[in-house]
Chains A and B, each alone.
Chain A
Amino acid sequence: MSYTKPLPRIDTLNQPFWDAAKQNRLVVQCCTACGDTRFPPSPVCPKCLSAEQTWKDVSGRGTLQSWVEFHRAYWDGFKPDLPYKCCMVQLEEGPLLVSNLVGSDANAKLGAPVRVVFEPVTDEITLPKFTLA
């Protein structure tokens, strides 16, 4: 069965994120000069402009900053999932990520602890998603 949702546009900059996700690891880009972390990645560090950037594993733990429920599908592939939930997560290590909130949201509230789960969607792509911890 073909996968009908949008897939990430992988480039040399973000390739390590998707390679790690496939191994069920969550990583963020990290500046070797000043330690700033972020996702999506940047060609230079937005804080210190160093071009020396690496990737580091993060805990996969964070807090729920917000969440929404889509009742409209902007891609046909999402129609069977309606309504589906997206969330804003702040990782323990700092970066903000957008993802899907999976599992019950009965206890969703600002600041609620969340943890990453990995959902393989194709042979190549695994999506990091989050669930209430």
Chain B
Amino acid sequence: MTRDAGLTRDAGLTWDAGLTLDAGLTRNARHDTDAGHDGREKRMSGLDDLKDKIAVIGVGNTRYGPFPETDEYGLAAQAFRNAVADCGIDKNQVDGLLVCRIPYYARMGEVLGLNPRWSLTLPPHGRMSGMGIIEAATAIAAGHATHVALMYANIGRSRRVNYGGDENPGTWDPWGFTSPGAAHAMMFRRHMEMYGTTTRQLAEVSVAVRHHASLNPDAVMRNPFSIDDHENARFITAPLRLLDYCLINDGAVCLILTSRERARDFAKPPVLISGFGAQETFSPSSISNYDHEFWYPALQAAGEQAYRMAGVGHDDIDALMCYDNFSPTVLFSLEGLGFCPRGESGRFVEGGTLKLGNRLPLNTDGGHLSNSYMQGWALNVEAVRQLRGECGARQVPDCEVVQYVQATPCTRSIIYTRG
């Protein structure tokens, strides 16, 4: 993931030494706004040049569900076929390959008959989609590749992945503290205590997302439920209940990216990557998936960078695709991005704010909570489909700007617009 000097030179960008220095400054920005702001100014001059330069030309996915008869390669190949068909590309034009949660990149290339000029493998963590799309975009801008296919596959349901216990050994196992869900429960309890946020407010997230899934014929879970249903669901790790947890299902997703100029050659109208931003929060990694500040400083930094690069503001966002591994992440994201003041996300979402037709449609495909656990990748596909106007009953009218965000130790935001 290191952006080396070669990339900087090749792209003719102005990522100078400030990039390296900024990493420290940005994390301290909450204590010293001026220093952090100055640091970020330097870095963004380079990224801003990539505004609208890279387009998503093809998207594809498998059905979502249990598919024990296949494996990651089988799922990814199907998603790739669908993405190729979606844009009409000759698959041999693909000269860049980015894979995530696929065991062996070279086998993936062999399966698809690809020997690309550039490839990158990302670990199977639920935060790599935003990173991968940004890295692919910068690789195209730098000239490493012209057409990059990004593939993600997950067969966690058929493999009975638990996301806790001995699968993910950690420092706090002797006390029984394990699983990303428990870390989010810990954060949400803290949010409740600090700001008076209630579980009925939290329910608005799951209820809105399930409503959208009910409009998506491909979603795994489609039966609508109410706030009371959410309140009556069983606890997994209190204060979080079953309906605050994402699904675990099998499936795969593929996106194909190229430059804006080349994008004109393909079947569908291109969707442009207009802005993006990034900020890691690597401490405390020993308490995995936990941040004492709800990733607020990272979301602020990534959001400011993305909005500024894209030249849009909150009121321009027609739909928000928000990493919803657990429902509290959505509340944290709304605050960090600045859709509402800090601590007020509970009140902000009351009354169906996040439902289609209201102020800020959220995860219109049903997200991780109800559509499919594709760890952010499917949300980026949904952003593309919304901007193309392909979403049928769940289409956001006149959709022009869609924002993706992942509030995780690797926080990313991407702003997509119609080409």
Beta-carbon contacts of B184-205 to A below 8 Å, as 1s and 0s?
Answer: 0111011001100000000000
Contact of B182 among A9, A70, A110 (CB under 8 A): A70
Contact check, A96 vs B292: say whether CB atoms are below 8 A apart: yes
A24 / chain B contacts, CB cutoff of 8 Å? none
The smallest beta-carbon distance between A128 and chain B, in angstroms, is 9
Question: Whole-angstrom distance from the CB of B6 to the nearest CB of chain A?
Answer: 28
Contact with B along A86-127 (1 / 0, CB 8 A): 101000000010111000000001100000000001000101
| Chain B residues, CB < 8 A from A8 | 173-174
A25 interfacial by beta-carbon distance below 8 Å: no
Known interface pairs A71-B238, A83-B238, A110-B193. Does A6 touch B186 (Cβ–Cβ under 8 Å)? no
Flag B158-174 by CB within 8 Å of A: 1 or 0 each: 00001011100101111
> Among the listed B175, B190, B235, which residue makes an inter-chain contact with A71, where contact means beta carbons less than 8 Å apart?
B235
CB of A70 within 8 A of CB of B186, answer: no
Residues in chain B within 8 A of chain A (CB atoms): 162, 164-166, 169, 171-179, 182, 185-187, 189-190, 193-194, 234-240, 283-284, 286-287, 292
Q: Given A68-B185, A88-B186, are A99 and B175 neighbors across the interface (CB < 8 Å)?
A: yes
Interface flag for A35 (CB, 8 Å): no
A84 adjacent to chain B (CB < 8 Å): yes
Asked if A74 meets B178 with Cβ closer than 8 Å, knowing A6-B166, A69-B238, A83-B238, the reply is: yes
Cβ-closest chain B residue relative to A46: B283
Closest 8 CB pairs of A and B: A74-B165, A110-B193, A66-B190, A74-B164, A6-B173, A69-B238, A71-B235, A98-B172
Q: Give chain A's interface residues, CB within 8 Å of chain B.
A: 5-9, 40, 46, 65-75, 78, 81, 83-84, 86, 88, 96, 98-100, 109-110, 121, 125, 127, 129
CA distance A36 to B179 in the complex (A): 28
Contacts of B286 in A (CB 8 A): 40
Could you say which of A9, A40, A70 contacts B176, with CB atoms under 8 Å apart? A70
CB atoms of B238 and A86 under 8 A apart = no
Contacts of B166 in A (CB 8 A): 6, 75
Task: Given A46-B283, A66-B189, A67-B189, check contact A40 B171 (CB 8 Å).
Answer: yes
Minimum distance in angstroms from B160 CB to a CB of chain A:
13
Q: Which residues of B contact A109 (CB under 8 A)?
A: 193
Q: Which chain B positions have C-beta within 8 A of A69?
A: 235, 237-238
Q: Residue of B at shortest CB range from A9?
A: B169
* Inter-chain pairs besides A6-B166, A75-B166, A75-B173, 20 sampled, C-beta below 8 Å: A9-B169, A40-B286, A68-B237, A68-B239, A69-B238, A71-B237, A73-B176, A74-B176, A75-B165, A78-B176, A84-B176, A86-B175, A86-B186, A98-B171, A98-B172, A98-B175, A109-B193, A110-B194, A127-B174, A127-B175
A-B contact count (CB 8 A): 90
Contact call A5/B237, Cβ cutoff below 8 A: no
Q: Which of A9, A83, A98, A121 contacts B287 (CB 8 A)?
A: A98
Q: A68-B185, A68-B239, A69-B238 are in contact. Are A100 and B176 (CB under 8 A)?
A: yes
- Docked CA distance A109–B194 (Å): 10
Chain A CB within 10 Å — which of B162, B175, B178 has the most? B175
B182→A68 contact, CB < 8 A: yes
Does the CB pair B182–A86 fall under 8 Å? yes
Tell me, in angstroms, the Cα distance from A66 to B182 when the chains sit together.
11
Give the distance in Å from the alpha carbon of A73 to the alpha carbon of B162 in the complex. Answer: 11
Q: Can you sample 12 A-B contacts with CB below 8 Å?
A: A5-B174, A40-B286, A69-B235, A70-B176, A74-B178, A75-B166, A75-B173, A83-B238, A98-B175, A99-B175, A109-B193, A110-B190
